[in-house]
């Protein structure tokens, strides 16, 4: 069989660009990422391959958090109703989405328990006991958990569900300046993993006051662009100030002997949505395309047998190559099954394995290997003596290629507009719009209604309206340069 005569995935998968939704559903199923047949709407099962990718994503973020002084914690999944109601703005924002536990066995509980929608009201009562002096600060902690929200919109695996995975940090500082510096550090942590390693570009904006996290002073969000032209929030960091510390009595003896309330931040890393973004941003019509750091298998070796050539000799050479690469620290799998090379190419393309090594009689005779890189779909013949060097190069170059390609795709979809008419005219060619805005909730609602769903996602921190700039909706004085897009 010719090495290029296998069935192509285009025969089976829909086109990603023209039918993103169907492509995504099929890849989740056929690549073994999740199973949606659990039987409760909005709840999914992470399958072994999907969970292997997720575990590596989690490890990347946890390592970065711990480098910056965060320590791991784990709080119970249930929150007493009295705790949840202590911060009025917070409960108002979450009450409609809470799952309540009302019974234990046949006994009705005296107080309802909420399944964790987010953990501020679970953690902060204990923080008030852990912190008594400025010497106890800063307190920087994180937990990796599932959270539960009764999502009333249409659910979609990994993107919008009623149970999802995330990492949440909860930090307490002596001063507001320290807390605000933490929000910048959060952005840097997110950038180092999400973009530098996973290759997922994002836009960083401050949510408008009417759209911030319930109970926060400021909310900063990370939005990425998906192939269907909608943005997905994949992370947020919040400056809470003293709103929660005053409610939950998180106070301490300060340097001068007086009592002060802690200044707080929290940071949410949307693991489930980041996995969805990884699939959708980098995938192609052959299936997944995984960055090497999170690929369960980084290199797969495929034998290309030929009638008349010793199978034993072929497999011995494959074992030599496998041992060489495993010895260099790579995750390697040699597929010696009876499936045809074409079937194997199809399967490992679908799984997004970064590097495929093909070995047939020609490679054995010449002491070479054929190396196929999944991101560019390019093949190179490499001498065995320089294979480790070449693989090391690919392990660096593949993430750079994915990162560059995704960034260019997002940037070419951004347009600056000065009117709603201009936005409507350009919406077929662009998905993300920068414009000037007066910051009012009324204008945001009117914009969304008039444009059929384009909403103000937040203000850019490094861009301001020009002199005399006017709001795109009401024509009044513009106070912010904002991102406008359709969102999940």
C-alpha pair distances (Å), 238 with each of 52, 72, 214, 243, 294: 30, 19, 10, 12, 28
The CB density around residue 53, as the number of other CB atoms within 10 Å, is 24
Determine contact, residues 74/39, Cβ cutoff 8 Å: no
CATH classification (class only), 414-485: alpha beta
**Can you give the pLDDT at residue 11?**
60
**Can you give the pLDDT at residue 91?**
75
**Can you give the pLDDT at residue 87?**
76
DSSP conformation class of 487: B
CATH classification (class only), 20-282: alpha beta
Determine contact, residues 272/164, Cβ cutoff 8 Å: yes
Determine contact, residues 256/247, Cβ cutoff 8 Å: no
Classify residue 158 as exposed, middle or buried by CB count within 10 Å of its CB (0-12, 13-18, 19+): buried
**Can you give the pLDDT at residue 8?**
47
Q: Residue 233's beta-bridge partner residues?
A: 223
Q: Tell me the C-alpha distance between 294 and 317, whole Å.
A: 27
Determine contact, residues 237/266, Cβ cutoff 8 Å: yes
Determine contact, residues 116/64, Cβ cutoff 8 Å: no
C-alpha pair distances (Å), 42 with each of 155, 391, 442: 6, 41, 32
DSSP conformation class of 472: T
Determine contact, residues 224/281, Cβ cutoff 8 Å: yes
The CB density around residue 263, as the number of other CB atoms within 10 Å, is 25
Low-confidence ranges of the chain (pLDDT < 50): 1-10
**Can you give the pLDDT at residue 377?**
97
Cis geometry, peptide bond prior to residue 138 (ω within 30 degrees of 0): yes
**Can you give the pLDDT at residue 55?**
98
DSSP conformation class of 262: P
Q: Tell me the C-alpha distance between 206 and 199, whole Å.
A: 22
**Can you give the pLDDT at residue 3?**
47
Determine contact, residues 342/289, Cβ cutoff 8 Å: no
Determine contact, residues 204/222, Cβ cutoff 8 Å: yes
Determine contact, residues 30/350, Cβ cutoff 8 Å: yes
CATH T-level fold of 297-396: Rossmann fold (3.40.50)
**Can you give the pLDDT at residue 153?**
74
Contacts of 312 (CB under 8 A, 6+ apart): none
Token pair 């779909």 is found at: 377
* In the chain, ranges of CATH 3.30.930.10 domains: 20-282
* In the chain, ranges of CATH 3.40.50.800 domains: 297-396
CA dihedral of 65, 70, 75, 79, whole degrees rounded to 10: -90
pTM for the full model? Answer: 0.95
Q: Could you give phi then psi for residue 351, rounded to 5 degrees?
A: -75, -10
Using DSSP's 3-state secondary structure scheme, residue 15 falls into: coil
């Amino acid at each position: 069989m010719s090495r290029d005569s296998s069935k192509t995935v285009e025969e089976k998968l829909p086109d990603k660009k023209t039918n993103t939704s169907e492509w995504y559903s099929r890849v989740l199923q056929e690549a073994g990422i999740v199973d949606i047949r659990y039987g409760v709407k909005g709840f999914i099962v992470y399958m072994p391959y999907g969970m292997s990718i997720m575990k590596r994503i989690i490890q990347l973020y946890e390592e970065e958090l711990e480098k910056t002084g965060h320590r791991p914690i784990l709080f119970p999944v249930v929150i007493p109703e009295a705790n949840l109601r202590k911060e009025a703005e917070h409960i108002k924002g979450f009450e409609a989405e809470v799952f309540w536990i009302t019974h234990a066995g046949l006994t009705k509980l005296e107080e309802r328990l909420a399944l964790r929608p987010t953990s501020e009201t679970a953690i902060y009562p204990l923080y008030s006991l852990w912190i008594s002096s400025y010497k106890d600060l800063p307190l920087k902690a994180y937990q990796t958990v599932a959270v539960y929200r009764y999502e009333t919109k249409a659910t979609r695996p990994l993107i919008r569900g009623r149970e999802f995975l995330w990492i949440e940090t909860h930090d307490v500082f002596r001063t507001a300046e320290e807390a605000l510096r933490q929000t910048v550090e959060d952005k840097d942590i997110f950038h180092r993993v999400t973009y530098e390693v996973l290759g997922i570009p994002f836009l960083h904006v401050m949510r408008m006051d009417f759209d911030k996290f319930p109970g926060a002073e400021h909310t900063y969000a990370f939005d990425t662009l998906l192939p269907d032209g909608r943005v997905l929030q994949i992370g947020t960091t919040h400056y809470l100030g003293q709103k929660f510390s005053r409610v939950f009595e998180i106070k301490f003896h300060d340097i001068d002997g007086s009592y002060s309330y802690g200044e707080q931040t929290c940071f949410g890393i949307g693991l489930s949505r980041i996995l969805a973004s990884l699939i959708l941003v980098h995938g192609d019509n052959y299936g997944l395309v995984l960055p090497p750091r999170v690929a369960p298998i980084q290199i797969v070796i495929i034998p290309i047998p030929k009638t008349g050539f010793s199978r034993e000799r072929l497999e011995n050479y494959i074992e030599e190559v496998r041992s060489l690469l495993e010895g260099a620290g790579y995750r390697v799998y040699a597929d010696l099954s009876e499936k045809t090379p074409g079937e194997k190419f199809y399967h490992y393309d679908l799984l997004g394995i970064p590097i495929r090594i093909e070995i047939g009689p020609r490679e054995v005779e010449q002491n070479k290997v054929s190396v196929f890189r999944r991101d560019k779909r390019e093949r190179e013949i490499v001498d065995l003596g320089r294979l480790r060097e070449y693989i090391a190069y690919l392990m660096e170059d593949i993430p750079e290629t994915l990162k560059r390609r995704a960034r260019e795709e997002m940037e070419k979809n951004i347009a600056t507009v000065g009117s709603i008419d201009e936005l409507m005219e350009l919406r077929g060619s662009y998905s993300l719009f920068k414009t000037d805005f007066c910051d009012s909730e009324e204008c945001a609602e009117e914009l969304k209604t008039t444009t059929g769903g384009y909403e103000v996602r937040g203000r850019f921190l490094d861009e301001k309206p020009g002199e005399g700039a006017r709001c795109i909706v009401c024509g009044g004085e513009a106070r912010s340069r904002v991102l406008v897009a359709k969102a999940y």
